Structure 1
Amino acid sequence: MRYSININGKNYDVEIKKVDDNFVAPAPIEQPKSIPTKIEQPIAASIEQPVVVSATKEDSNVEVVSPMPGAILSILVDIGQQVSEGEAIIILEAMKMEIEVNAPKTGVIKQVLVNVGSSVGANDVLIVMN
């Protein structure tokens, strides 16, 4: 038997042949059981952002470090800029996710030690602020 079918506006000629009478069709494949996909908490929100505080008492600098290996996607602050605690200062791309690195305290950006596109390791210093 010959048929002409149209799929998405394109015509196809199809020929269907009769199968041998002794043909046994394969058994249907069992469908996988469904797996719950509800995510209780976003993965990125559960990542703690380590902060290393300088050791000297007269210097109140804080070094903001990378929470994990990744690449710098965006730098949201400039040297001398005032930032508030919790404000996003860098966007890090890690494991195909965008991770916000936030200011650990209110202060002023003293140094930006990375560039957009830089690869960083876990605990690498990204920014120095006071």
Structure 2
Amino acid sequence: MKNYTITVNGNVYDVTVEESTGAAAPAAVSAPSPVKKEAAPAPKKAAATGAEGSVKVTAPMPGKILGVKVSAGQAVKKGEVLVVLEAMKMENEIIAPSDGTVASIHAAVGDSVEAGATLATLN
């Protein structure tokens, strides 16, 4: 028999698994009992750099950040690439909607973002 600790949707369970010898008869299975243990803490969101800007640049779809092409305080022109977002195996360039200065960056390379998440703000 082997004992395992399994976390499912934040609930921690201790389970015991009986090893089979290859016999045709199935082994009896008992329901796992919940165990009061603390689950791993949720990962912290990256802190925003700088102040909030008046123009928010959001993710049009869920995906993973492959590159951040600007930094806080940098002047940008309308159509300039701010962030590269990978979604469905395609790289999508997220561009500046208007001329301005990057007030803050809310995403880092490797972050997973949801649709509508603020990636950057411009002034």
CA distance in 1, matches of 2:122, 2:65: 18
Q: Which amino acid aligns with 2:92?
A: I
* 1:72 shift after superposition: 0.3
The alignment status of 1:80 with 2:73, answered yes or no, reads yes
Unaligned runs of 5+ in 1: 1-58
> Which stretches in structure 2 are left out of the alignment for 5+ residues?
1-51
Q: What pairs up with 1:37-116 in 2 under 5 angstroms?
A: 61-116=54-109
Deviations 1:30-63 (A, max 9, x none): xxxxxxxxxxxxxxxxxxxxxxxxxxxxx97101
Shift of 1:91: 0.3
* Higher RCO structure, 1 or 2 (CA under 8 Å, sep 6+): 2
Task: Supply the AA of the counterpart residue of 2:55.
Answer: V
Query: CA RMSD for the aligned pairs?
Result: 1.3
Q: Matched residues, percent identical? A: 44
Between structure 1 and structure 2, the one with the greater Rg is 1
The answer for the alignment partner of 2:117 in structure 1 is 124
Would you identify which runs of 4 or more consecutive aligned residues in structure 1 move more than 4 Å?
none
Q: What is the rounded CA distance, in whole Å, between the counterparts of 2:79 and 2:108 in structure 1?
A: 21
CA distance in 2, matches of 1:115, 1:129: 17
How far apart, CA to CA, are the structure 2 residues paired with 1:104 and 1:112? 15
TM-score, structure 2 length as denominator? Answer: 0.57
1: distance between equivalents of 2:59 and 2:86? 11
Match of 2:34 in 1: none
SS at match of 1:68: coil
- Alpha-carbon distance in 1 for matches of 2:63, 2:91: 10
